[in-house]
Structure 1
Amino acid sequence: MSDTQQPWPVEIRVIQDRRTLQIGYDDGRTDELDAEYLRVESPSAEVQGHSPDQKTIVDRKKDVRIMAVQPVGSYAVRLDFSDGHTTGIFTWSYLRGLVDRRELIWGEYLKKLAELGLSR
């Protein structure tokens, strides 16, 4: 892998009672992403809207599960969730970014939930 290439996933598994997506990369890194986090940050238009000000705060997903992982070409996966959500296309770079910025993204999500009087 050259310095200009993005790390490439070599293994994707759903673990821990369907609550965690585990991704192993060719650079040796292994990431784990919680189903709830993936669901509320789905890259779908339903969640993200068509601009940042249209983003929807998705609540009550604490118990959501990952039911299936579907490949989308060689660049992404579509995750099917137990609540019926199936429209998010998670690119490898999007997934990696969710891990790299998890503390900030999750913190903002929890803050927004509290402001709106919503629960996980």
Structure 2
Amino acid sequence: MSNDGFTPAFSPVEINYLRDDRILEIIWDDGAKTYLSAELLRVESPSAEVQGHHPSEKKIISGRRHVGVIDIAPVGNYAVRISFDDLHDSGLFSWQYLREMHDNQDKLWKDYLAALEARGLSRDPSR
């Protein structure tokens, strides 16, 4: 598929939330399958609340080991808005962003765990 800058290079043909496993499954038009945990989606939300307006402003979100998804709403033909059960719902996950998460999932997860450790934070909610 040609990419004119407006048409996503890849588009999902199916998006399923596997509630028991808290996993978002995406089947892409090129046959690739993506499995992203709700926790990773939440802590890597593309919202300004998480990402800030510059890479140096990115917030490290802790305590989300058990976060789940309560809604996935399409936004045009280019994204979904994911609502999480911690009430975060301001991130628009474009097809491009989700595909980048697919391609970089291992690095994103490793970097997240390292950032938590460096700050003395945990994936578990504070008591």
Shorter-chain TM-score category?
over 0.9
Aligned-partner Cα distance in 1 for 2:21–2:118: 30
* SS of residue in 2 equivalent to 1:97: helix
* Number of corresponding residues: 119
Cα displacement string for residues 58-102 of structure 1 (whole angstroms, at most 9, x for unaligned residues): 000000001110101110000000100000000001001111111
Mapped pair 1:57 → 2:49: no
In 1: Cα distance, 2:10 partner to 2:47 partner? 23
| Aligned match of 2:121 | 118
Structure 1: which amino acid aligns with 2:116?
L
C-alpha deviation, 1:16, in angstroms: 3.9
- Per-residue CA deviations over 1:28-79 (Å, capped at 9, x if unaligned) read 1111110000000000000000000000000000000011101011100000
Q: Displacement of 1:18 after TM fit?
A: 6.1
Consecutive unaligned residues of structure 1, counting only runs of 5 or more, are none
Distance of aligned partners of 1:87 and 1:18 in 2 relative to their CA distance in 1, 3 Å threshold: farther
Q: Does 1:79 align with 2:82?
A: yes
SS in 2 for 1:60: coil
Aligned equivalents of 2:17 and 2:102: distance in 1?
16
Picking from 17, 26, 29, the partner of 2:29 is 26
Q: 1: distance between equivalents of 2:35 and 2:29?
A: 15
CA distance in structure 1 between the aligned counterparts of 2:21 and 2:110, rounded to whole angstroms: 23
Provide the secondary structure at the position in 1 that maps to 2:60.
coil
Distance 2:35 2:109 in 1: 14
Task: Give the fraction of aligned pairs with identical amino acids, expressed as a percent.
Answer: 47
- Measured on the aligned residues, the alpha-carbon RMSD in Å equals 1.2
Aligned counterpart for 1:103 among listed residues 93, 102, 106:
106
